[in-house]
Amino acid sequence: MKKIVWVDDSSVVVRPIKEAIECCDIKICHLRSLNDLVNMLIFESDVYDGIVFDIMMPPADVNSEFDIREDSEYWNGYRFLVNNYNFLNKRFNGKIALCSGHPKEMIESRIDSEIQNYPINIFNTQNGNTLDEIIKWVNNTSHSMLCERCPNLISKYELFWVDDERIPLDIIETIEDNGFYIRVFNSVTHFLHEYKKLIIANEDLNNIIILVDIVFNDDSNVLTGTRDGEQTGISLSRQILKMNSSQKIIGCSNWASEKNSNWFWEYCEGFVSKDKNLSYNIIKRINEIFQQKRLPKTFIVHGWDSMLRDELSDYLTKSLHFPKPIILANTSSVGKTIIEKIEDATIGVDLVFVMCTPDDLVTSDDKIYKQASPNVLIELGYFYGRLGRLSGKVIVIVKGDLNIPSDISGVTYIKIKESISEAKSEIYNELVALRLIERVLA
């Protein structure tokens, strides 16, 4: 069995790689600090087939014959390699590599010109081909030696932490030790730039949780209602949910009003307090989120037929066991306009039912016909624009013979005569297509 040394202060990166590679007969000796590496190099004589350095690590501080000068940009793993290259090259038979979650091109543009011609491999730990590349590198082969179970061992959970305060290293390490890769964003601008890139690239965001500090300065100038930084986290969360309504978000703060913390419990995945147990609070809440089944959040647009509205609500809650649908008439106004109420009430909504019922009798050009309330049609257009007409997340139910405006006459809808019971089968099929039924009944 071949053996390599992996120097990385993050066990969340190394642990799954270690488990995966060891099933391919490669043993990894994981050292979590440069101090551990120095001690190993001085006191151990074991022969290894290679060494991998995490680029960004805390500096070494032990007295030794090795050059342990600190790097100004925290690239201490890389700096240790550069400063002690000749010794390491001899000790590990010329098999040396760097690893990082940063893109390979960015790393190559940063490394010193004096080692650009050295045989140093660079592995991106966020690349799906990393395992195969490492195994080929260790075995000096160009042929894939990856066994079938290797890729399934890699953890894909990520925590995006948006906070303008410095996050203590011990908190980051504790959370990473529990299986989460952490990315810290100290500004709204940086976070939105990176998150929008994920949206545009159509990345899978299901295994990402965003932890948002409630109180911090907005440097983006795109958020509204921040109240001098006191509600920046809430404003940012609204912006995130507009981009991705199913995004998992947790609020956090070392002080927060009951109103602000309740907002995160109502519209997001909850709130944690920044007290001495912060790392425990975060881990506990994350585990609860991934262990529980997220039930769909629904909204009903309706006209004057309250009986039909209530029948639909009962079907969703009693038959499908969905949470109680949001109905605008049942929400408080607090001085808001109708559109503001709709925007706030539908944050994070997964599904909208639009009920077009014969509310208005219209006479035009000597013709008399029935049509849905103009407010219902306006809200239908609003949700098509917000959720996407082709997303399937807007389900239109038409009761009776109605005049359908030409602008939406081509839209597919569910037709009923009197009762929601006539449409249960079609509604069910739509929810299955959206995978909402499977999620609830599984």
Tens-place pLDDT, residues 50-82: 999 888 877 877 766 777 776 666 678 888 888
pLDDT at 212: 94
Q: Residues 367-412: pLDDT tens digits?
A: 888 888 889 989 998 898 888 877 888 999 999 888 877 666 667 7
**Are 49 and 91 in the same domain?**
yes
pLDDT at 213: 92
Domain end, chosen from 153, 186, 221, is at 153
* CA separation for the pair 15, 13 (Å, rounded): 6
**Are 30 and 123 in the same domain?**
yes
- Asked if residue 431 lies in contact with residue 393, where contact means CB atoms within 8 angstroms, the answer is no
**Are 173 and 230 in the same domain?**
yes
- Asked if residue 91 lies in contact with residue 37, where contact means CB atoms within 8 angstroms, the answer is no
**Are 200 and 108 in the same domain?**
no
Q: Residue 57: which domain range?
A: 2-153
pLDDT at 357: 92
pLDDT at 155 over 70: no
Q: What is the mean pLDDT of the chain?
A: 80
pLDDT at 422: 92
**Are 138 and 181 in the same domain?**
no
Helices (H), 51-168: 76-83, 85-91, 104-110, 130-139
pLDDT at 148 over 60: no
**Per-position DSSP letters for 61-74, written without gaps between them:** -S-SSS--PPPTTS
**Are 7 and 66 in the same domain?**
yes
**Are 27 and 73 in the same domain?**
yes
Q: What is the CATH classification number for the domain harbouring 149?
A: 3.40.50.2300
State the total domains in the chain. Answer: 3
**Are 247 and 334 in the same domain?**
no
Q: Which range scores top for mean pLDDT: 187-191, 239-243, 317-321? A: 239-243
The confidence band for 153, taking pLDDT boundaries of 50, 70 and 90, is: very low
User: Residue 52 contacts by C-beta under 8 Å, 6 or more apart in sequence?
Assistant: 4, 5, 6, 7, 8, 97, 98, 99, 123, 134
**Are 143 and 46 in the same domain?**
yes
pLDDT at 353 over 80: yes
pLDDT at 442 over 60: no
The confidence band for 154, taking pLDDT boundaries of 50, 70 and 90, is: very low
More confident residue, 17 or 33: 33
Q: Residues 220-265: pLDDT tens digits?
A: 677 765 566 678 889 899 989 988 888 999 999 987 788 888 899 8
More confident residue, 345 or 90: 90
One-letter amino acid of 153: L
Q: Strand 360-364 to strand 367-371: parallel, antiparallel, or no bridges (unpaired)?
A: antiparallel
Chain centroid offset of residue 84 CA:
39
